[in-house]
Structure 1
Amino acid sequence: MSWLSYSRGQFLLSWRVFWRNRRSTFIGFALPVLLNLVVAAPLRDRQIGGVNAAGYTTVGFIGLALVTSFVNLLGGVVARRDDLVLKRLRGTEVPPTAVFAGQIAAGGAVVLLQVAVLGGVAVGWFGAPLPADPLLLVLALVGGYLVFAVLALALSGLTPGSESAPLVAMPVLLLCMFGAGVFMPLASLPGWLRAPAHALPLAPVVQTLRTAWFGRDFGGESWDGHALPALDLLHGWQAAGPALLLIAAWAAAAVVLTRRLFRWEPRHN
């Protein structure tokens, strides 16, 4: 069998398991959508940075979908490790990369569904425009998703067992939700928190998503600030350059951590 065949098998298995597990379906799919409806709907009549605040917030929740996918992937990897699935697969002819490629691809497919739902809400209900730069939007989504997918593999090595996986994943989710500018600009945080918040792995992803969607240089906006100037495609990429470099740095760090921390066998063995 080819690498693609093995990966496809892992994809189909992970896809079925995801939708059959109510907890993973709620956290990995429904949570960002439901939270967005609660948080963004009251902001329909407000503006931030020259764009509708509800649409601004909805794009932030698209970024949060990457983190909820991380929560599910971490729990899934730890469960498969503790059930000795990973150990058995490692002893077969299945390439190690194929073991995770299908599982990561299944999580990515769920994220695409969330992007479609949240994007439809932003445009159809909140009156946001269509993305100004779809290519930059896709790059931010792919880069951000890979960062959190690889971080899930890395942190699985520090997770004692499947029961403790939420204790490892939830702090990351909460930190990114409230500290990475998902539903409020980072300028609204206390001054001493702004620099650490900008360095969180989700912050550059959310910033780039908003720049790509609205064609404005987000990152320093505030609730009471003036409208940000519109950017053409070239200047949009220039504005997103530092954030893209930070995403790349996080991706490289995640790979290094995975190589050092990941375990194929349960921690008690």
Structure 2
Amino acid sequence: MSTLTTAPGAGRTLGWTGWARGQFLLSWRVFWRNRRSTFIGLLLPVALDLVVAAPLRDREIAGVNAAAYSTVGFIGFALVTTFINLLNGIVARRDDLVLKRLRGTEVPATAILAGQFGAAGAVVLLQVLLLGGISVGWFGAPLPADPLLLAVFLAGGFLLFAVLAAALSGITPSAEAAPMVATPVLLLCMFASGVVAPVSSLPHWLQAPAHALPLAPVVEGLRTAWFGRGFGAESWNGPALAPLDLLQGWQHALPALLLAAAWTAGAAVLARRLFRWEPRRG
């Protein structure tokens, strides 16, 4: 912490980017030193994908390989495991008074969060490379049909769950209680957002709420961008979806993108109201 209490002019010399970079490097080192966060944040989506998707290699869904279909879903699920690590990390730093001490220095509040979010984003990129390599190299998936649309949904989905982690940290009383807050989000996103199987495989009365969950539009958009088909209403026994050109892909993905943006805006409002820099008292 000595670097955070330098001379009065040091903050102005270093600048916002330098402060954010320092927080990024600190969060990056902490992530790799914590075996639990490394497993959940990096390896869990890959391990689950190998277990769940591999048996689907000889099946198709909506005209694409079912294993590749599930693997792209697990790229979306990686955003949820990143949410868990961010929630745990923010609450732990708050309870250890790290956030309070940082707020008492010249480090801008936005730089503190940007550095931590940036480290989590770097982990997501590693997961995308791992899962994308599995999808293309092992399951025979094509390369992404629209890389730009894919990047938009990845960035938007990451921002959504990063802001949601900041918001929910405010109602998490302690680091020990963080799993109680994160687990329901994890289970809902994994089993009711189309990660492994289409949302249409759920009971009819659950399908509309499932489509409205924060991860569902992200997974739908990732699949549309990757395979160039209009995902969202597919089913195991349904017909193959027709290929879309780039413009059609963006048009089809627009409602999912707007829903994800609405979730992000709502999470940002909650984060502004609920986020705490100091531990809860009493």
Q: TM-score, normalised by structure 2?
A: 0.95
Give the AA of the match of 1:179. A
Give the AA of the match of 1:72. N
Q: Secondary structure at the match of 1:178?
A: helix
Report what 1:229 is aligned to: 242
Aligned equivalent of 1:203, options 207, 212, 216: 216
Q: Can you list the C-alpha shifts for 1:101-149, whole angstroms capped at 9, x where unaligned?
A: 0100000000000000000000000000000000000000000000000
Instruction: Kindly indicate whether residue 141 of structure 2 is the aligned counterpart of residue 139 of structure 1.
Output: no
Which structure 2 residues correspond to residues 87-98 of structure 1 after superposition, within 5 A? 87-98=100-111
Give the AA of the match of 1:107. A
Cα distance, 1:209 vs structure 2: 0.1
RMSD of aligned alpha carbons: 0.6
Distance of 1:257 and 1:118 partners within structure 2 = 32
Report what 1:173 is aligned to: 186
Q: Can you list the C-alpha shifts for 1:78-100, whole angstroms capped at 9, x where unaligned?
A: 00000111111111111000011
Q: Can you list the C-alpha shifts for 1:193-220, whole angstroms capped at 9, x where unaligned?
A: 0011000000000000000000000000
Q: What number of residue pairs does the alignment pair up? A: 269
Distance of 1:16 and 1:84 partners within structure 2 = 19
Q: Which runs of 5+ in 1 are unaligned?
A: none
Which structure 2 residues correspond to residues 28-39 of structure 1 after superposition, within 5 A? 28-39=41-52
Distance of 1:166 and 1:22 partners within structure 2 = 16
Runs of 4+ in 1 over 2 A off after TM superposition: none
Report what 1:12 is aligned to: 25
Q: Secondary structure at the match of 1:158?
A: coil
Aligned equivalent of 1:59, options 60, 66, 72: 72
Cα distance, 1:45 vs structure 2: 0.5
Q: Which runs of 5+ in 2 are unaligned?
A: 1-13
Distance of 1:138 and 1:24 partners within structure 2 = 25
Report what 2:117 is aligned to: 104
Report what 2:268 is aligned to: 255
Distance of 1:253 and 1:27 partners within structure 2 = 26
Which sits farther off after the overlay, 139-148 or 86-95? 86-95
Q: Can you list the C-alpha shifts for 1:141-164, whole angstroms capped at 9, x where unaligned?
A: 000000000000000000000011
Structure 1 or 2, whichever has the larger Rg, is: 2
Which structure 2 residues correspond to residues 238-249 of structure 1 after superposition, within 5 A? 238-249=251-262
Identity %: 75
Distance of 1:109 and 1:102 partners within structure 2 = 11
Cα distance, 1:170 vs structure 2: 1.1
Q: TM-score, normalised by structure 1?
A: 0.99
